[in-house]
Structure 1
Amino acid sequence: MIDTALLATAYRFRVTFILPSSGAADPAAPTQLGSGGFQECTGLEVEMEVSEYSEGGRNDGVVQRAGRMKVARLVLKRGMVIGDTGRVVPELWTWIAEVTGGVRPIRRYDGLVQLLDAGQQTVAAWAFRRALPAKVVGPQLNARTGEVAIEELTLAHEGLRMVTP
């Protein structure tokens, strides 16, 4: 039986970006971009390529062989990345500008996506590795609403795993 109270729970997502210890080519680079609160997160997907092998003399089926793992891009919608001071961090936009501007080596960030309940407690978490900003859509500035959230942030990354909260 499905608990309808659980389905009615409003969840939010927190994403934290951390520079891997081996990835800092520039000692002045920020080791953490901060944490962001987002209303929607998609792309928590892992897919294994599977190839079929027809074994000689076996007519009742084929052998399934595991191949490479593929991960989907993470898409974070309607949120903002803030730092320890409680203000929006310009380092996120600096990182995006450096990647698109051709600054090498490219800084990559590891991160953690946390599913939070109404009490801000972690319900589930996923860790991603070596992310790059693939796309960012800024806010639709409207003086009547005052919203300044990032509308969409797409991250290409090299691995995803579920971790214990």
Structure 2
Amino acid sequence: MDDLHNLLPAFNFSVSLYKTGGSDRNLIGNGGFAECSGLELSADIREHNEGGNNNAVRRMLGRVKLQPLVLKRGMLVNQTQADGTLWTWMTTMLDGQLPFDRYDGHIDVFDRIGATSFARWSFVRGLPSKLSGPTLNAKTGDIAIEELQIVHEGLRLEVK
């Protein structure tokens, strides 16, 4: 029996962010994200029409376009206040404090029971490009969700 019927679940994943060139001691986020999107690469294809050959178009590879990663999670709190780690990362950059902290990271996708990581996307030299606080609405019982967008300088799928 072939293994093509086994599909990777999209609900069991973990996100880790750590300082570029650092170690897990510099971790600012581990797990805890409810959604992750932006695992995408696209190539800029340029068309070149050859003179005298009206039946063909040559296609040449241009630059790779990297999409921002979009991470969503429930806003975390400790005993006395909300966790402001992501907000501190964004505001120190906006305040012009040099050097900017860049973060590498990886997104691991696990089997249904969480025992084995089957795929890992790794990105390098990430910077926050957008951070959104929760939409507050007293009429619902929804969890406060914050959204972080990270621009990066490279994305790779590491098949385990």
The two structures have a TM-score, normalised by structure 2, of 0.74
* Residue 69 in structure 1 maps to residue 71 in structure 2: no
CA-to-aligned-CA distance 1:78-129 (integer Å, 9 cap, x gap)? 3568xxxxxx965433212211222122111111011233322323211111
- Residue identity (%): 42
Rate the CA distance shift 1:44–1:17 in 2: closer, same or farther, 3 A. same
Task: Output the amino acid matched with 2:48.
Answer: Y
- Secondary structure of 2:50's partner? coil
Correspondent of 1:32 among 12, 27, 37: 27
Deviates more, 1:48-57 or 1:114-123: 114-123
Tell me the residue number matched to 2:133.
Answer: 138
Tell me the residue number matched to 1:129.
Answer: 124
The two structures have a TM-score, normalised by structure 1, of 0.72
Q: Whole-Å Cα distance in 2 between the matches of residues 128 and 138 of structure 1?
A: 24
Tell me the residue number matched to 2:79.
Answer: none
CA drift of 1:137 comes to: 2.3
Correspondent of 2:112 among 107, 118, 127: 118
Q: Whole-Å Cα distance in 2 between the matches of residues 10 and 127 of structure 1?
A: 17
* Residue 99 in structure 1 maps to residue 79 in structure 2: no
Matched positions, count: 149
Q: Whole-Å Cα distance in 1 between the matches of residues 136 and 48 of structure 2?
A: 55
- Secondary structure of 2:87's partner? helix
- Secondary structure of 1:93's partner? helix
Rate the CA distance shift 1:123–1:139 in 2: closer, same or farther, 3 A. farther
1:43 and 1:74 in contact (8 A); partners too: yes
CA drift of 1:141 comes to: 6.9
| Stretches of structure 1 lacking an aligned partner (at least 5 in a row) | 25-29, 82-87
Correspondent of 1:46 among 30, 41, 45: 41
- Secondary structure of 1:95's partner? helix
Q: Whole-Å Cα distance in 2 between the matches of residues 79 and 115 of structure 1?
A: 19
Task: Output the amino acid matched with 2:120.
Answer: A
CA drift of 1:10 comes to: 6.2
2:10 and 2:109 in contact (8 A); partners too: no
| Stretches of structure 2 lacking an aligned partner (at least 5 in a row) | 77-81
